[in-house]
Chains A and B, each alone.
Chain A
Amino acid sequence: MPTESMSTEVYAGRVTDFEDGRRALVNVDGREVFVFERDGRFFAFENVCRHMGGPVGEGMLIGKVEAILDDEGRHLGDRFSTTDIHIVCPWHGWEYEIETGICAADRRIRLRRFEATARGGEVYVRG
């Protein structure tokens, strides 16, 4: 999986390289960026957690935890969202939405996001 700088666009690998949850690290304008695929779409963010600089791209992908309440406001349990997916920094557990990079616990904070696209069976990241 070669990494080749094309001005602000960087080759991140073949689409097939990302099967089974595999991810790539690429250098975009001097920043370490991680790239991954989810349900046929590609995402890319800087590999630096906004908390303490952790390698967020190495973290777990997991559904947002949602509380289940009944009509009276009673708590019945929790569940994982199947649509709102988070990536979790493996250092301290800060969670970010993969769609936006916004921090789940404080929406004023977000990861640096890059555009990742697939064309011709290859994946590219734009700075």
Chain B
Amino acid sequence: MAITDPVEPRLFNTGQRAGYDTKFHLANATRQAQERGFEDVLIVDADAHHLNEMTHYGDIIKYIPDEVLRNEARMGERSGLMYPGFRSPQRHSLSGRILRYRNEDLEKFEDKTVHPEVEFSLREMKAIGIDYQVVFPTALLALGMHPDPFIETQLAWAYCRWLTEEVLPGSPWVKTMVYLPMNQPEACVRFVEQFGDNPGVVGFMVTSARYKPVHANDYMPLYRAIEETGLPLSFHAIYHQQERMFEGMNKFLSVHALGFIFYNLVHMTNMVMNGIPERFPKLKLLWIESGLAWIPFLMQRLDNEYLMRSSEAPLLRKLPSDYMREMFYTTQPIENHDYGLLETTLRTINAETQLLFSSDYPHWDFNLPSTIWDLPFLTEAAKRRILGENARDLFRLDR
């Protein structure tokens, strides 16, 4: 097929001819899915994102419970409740090189039967070959660093109501994990009680950039409540550009590369060394969007030090790495430039039972199912577990 009428000089994109359409942008992904027969493979995307939830800010803030705060949000700027660092320098588009960012406002959503966010999810799920998708916010992932815990809780409540009442009812294939405002632990329990039974909810999510330690005693009622639901508690990675140490890094790639593991390294260490898995043995922990290379690194560090200083971690009854091997992880952004290292990593974390495919679409470093399907050292059974069956079981999608 020849293209004769691209709209924009110097750029050609089959989608751009008619504005922009995810279906066209992902045409090569669709071809991959067809070549690999993904129509016969259950694929669950354990981490994807809204196109841009801030587009719907006006719809979200009407659910803010506090009427004075709600009025402040309504009368203020679109992002009126967010402190200046809330959206740190966003260079996701690589100065326009990644075309979907600058084109996202051009995409048309015309299905009146579902919310545009659902229509977007279904469009890219169909293009990629995904059966179920768990969606998370983008901008709101930074709320954990909001200087006012009350505002974090209020906005999170409003977001969860909007998502569970206006968005998710549009499709049984699109799910979420409930945002937990961890700076107010007692409020988190109310979130579990309010939203935990919603059919669109498959777990609970902590956005990782935050300072309150996960072993604080006032979290214990929350962990008990989540354990009783049988659903996982996840830690979704995010960077924080204003992190004191990161202020010295002048490249987005530097902050992103370290930022997306930094907080999860700290939270995982505190979780394990304070014996949370011993105190709540049925609490399922899921670590999202930190890639995989950090896990064997931390296993080795913690095992080595624990063997010398076990008196500091009296709740542990086995090595730190043994606890970590019982937790769950998502794949993206998978570090697959060296298959030897990746094979070792997957073996180390018991990937066949503990690893869940995730795309992170539409973000700049998204992954496709082929990143798992094409690995030469996995059996087909292992690929099927990772691409969908592990998530199906963890999220109890057969409920």
What is the interface of chain A, defined by CB distance below 8 A to chain B?
1-3, 12-13, 17, 20-27, 34, 47-48, 52-55, 57-62, 88, 90-93, 95
Contact = CB atoms under 8 A, between A and B. Distances in A.
A1 B2 CA distance: 6
Interface stretch (B81-89, B153-161, B169-177, B363-371): B363-371
By Cβ-Cβ distance, the 5 closest A-B pairs, closest first, are A21-B10, A1-B2, A90-B99, A20-B9, A21-B9
A22 B96 contact: no
Given A21-B11, A52-B371, 19 more contacts: A1-B2, A3-B2, A20-B10, A22-B3, A22-B4, A22-B9, A53-B32, A53-B370, A54-B28, A55-B14, A55-B25, A55-B27, A58-B14, A60-B11, A60-B99, A90-B13, A90-B25, A93-B98, A93-B364
A93 B363 CA distance: 12
A65 to B, nearest CB: 9
A24 B2 contact: yes
17 contacts: A20-B10, A21-B9, A22-B12, A23-B3, A24-B2, A26-B2, A52-B370, A53-B32, A53-B368, A54-B28, A55-B28, A60-B96, A88-B94, A92-B98, A92-B365, A92-B366, A93-B97
Nearest to A13: B2
A2 to B, nearest CB: 7
Contacts of A3: 1-2
B282 interface: no
Interface in B342-376: 364-368, 370-371
Contact of A57 (B2, B12, B364, B366): B12
Interface residues of B, number: 30
A47 B14 CA distance: 12
B62 interface: no
A90 B3 CA distance: 18
A47 B28 CA distance: 9
B3 A24 contact: yes
Given A1-B2, A53-B370, A90-B100, A58 B12 contact: yes
Contacts of A2: 2
Interface in B10-46: 10-14, 25, 27-29, 31-32
Contact of A17 (B4, B13, B28): B4
Nearest to A11: B2
B213 interface: no
Contacts of B221: none
Nearest to A56: B28
Given A17-B4, A58-B99, A92-B364, A23 B25 contact: no
Contacts of A59: 97, 99
Nearest to A27: B1
B375 to A, nearest CB: 13
A1 B12 CA distance: 16
B399 to A, nearest CB: 33
Contact of A93 (B3, B10, B31, B94): B94
Contacts of B366: 91-92
A3 B3 CA distance: 10
A93 to B, nearest CB: 5
Contacts of B99: 58-60, 90
Contacts of B9: 20-22
B374 to A, nearest CB: 10
A84 to B, nearest CB: 16
B98 A91 contact: yes
A21 B3 CA distance: 12
A86 to B, nearest CB: 9
B18 to A, nearest CB: 14
B58 interface: no
A22 B7 CA distance: 9
B6 interface: yes
B104 to A, nearest CB: 13
Contacts of B27: 55
A20 B10 CA distance: 6
Given A90-B98, A90-B100, A92-B365, A61 B10 contact: yes
